[in-house]
């Protein structure tokens, strides 16, 4: 996990641009000069202004399905143009391969955090306290992954 942030807004609609910029800042602070080539997000992050900004300002391709995985068919009124193009890209072999990476790398973080680590509510109150607690949970998640990776490498 590169960037971990909290918000008081329940939907993800307005968070694509801030999360990408936070992730890029974190990479820069860590001395990583190479930018990600593609951003993958779920349907709730669909925000054309944010998508255009990420592509124009950072040169990063954005792949977001216009429809949630639970929906049968297209969203009413979301046809043609960018919506159809994104559906075709995500239905291609490369699109499926890329989006599968998101499902394999991002979704398990939340499942592991909630189910295995039993972190499904915050102990602290206030934005600063919750933000610190969330970032600490994600930091320890990364440390656990690093430890497991080192154990696997040592065993090989």
The domain containing residue 68 runs over which residues? 1-99
Residue at which a domain ends, from 68, 83, 99: 99
Q: Tell me, what's the pLDDT at 107?
A: 74
Q: Tell me, what's the pLDDT at 75?
A: 79
Q: Tell me, what's the pLDDT at 1?
A: 62
> For the whole model, what pTM was predicted?
0.73
d(CA 43, CA 75): 11
- Do 81 and 112 lie in one domain? The reply is no
- Do 87 and 121 lie in one domain? The reply is no
- Do 18 and 72 lie in one domain? The reply is yes
Q: Tell me, what's the pLDDT at 17?
A: 92
List of the chain residues with pLDDT < 70: 1, 11
- Do 15 and 34 lie in one domain? The reply is yes
In sequence order, what DSSP letters do the residues of 6-71 get, joined into one string?
A: --S-SSSTT-HHHHHHHHHHHHHHTT--PPPSEEE--GGG--HHHHHHHHHHH--EEE--SS-TT-
Mean pLDDT computed over every residue of the chain: 86
Q: List, for residues 114-140, the tens digit of each pLDDT value.
A: 888 888 888 888 988 988 998 898 888
Residue at which a domain ends, from 78, 99, 120: 99
What domain count does the chain have? 2
- Do 90 and 37 lie in one domain? The reply is yes
Q: Tell me, what's the pLDDT at 91?
A: 92
- Do 14 and 62 lie in one domain? The reply is yes
- Stretch (H or E) spanning 143: helix 127-155
């Amino acid at each position: 996990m590169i960037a971990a942030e909290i918000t008081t807004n329940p939907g993800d609609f307005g968070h694509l641009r801030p999360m990408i910029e936070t992730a890029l800042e974190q990479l820069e602070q860590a001395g990583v000069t190479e930018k990600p080539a593609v951003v993958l997000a779920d349907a709730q992050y669909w925000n054309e202004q944010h998508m255009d900004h990420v592509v124009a300002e950072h040169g990063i391709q954005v792949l977001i399905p216009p429809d949630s995985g639970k929906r049968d068919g297209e969203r009413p009124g979301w046809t043609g143009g960018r919506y159809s193009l994104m559906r075709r890209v995500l239905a291609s072999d490369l699109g499926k391969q890329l989006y599968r990476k998101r499902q394999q790398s991002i979704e398990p973080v939340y499942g592991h955090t909630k189910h295995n680590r039993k972190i499904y509510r915050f102990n602290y109150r206030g934005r600063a306290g919750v933000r610190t607690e969330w970032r600490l949970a994600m930091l320890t998640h990364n440390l656990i992954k690093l430890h497991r990776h080192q154990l696997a490498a040592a065993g090989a």
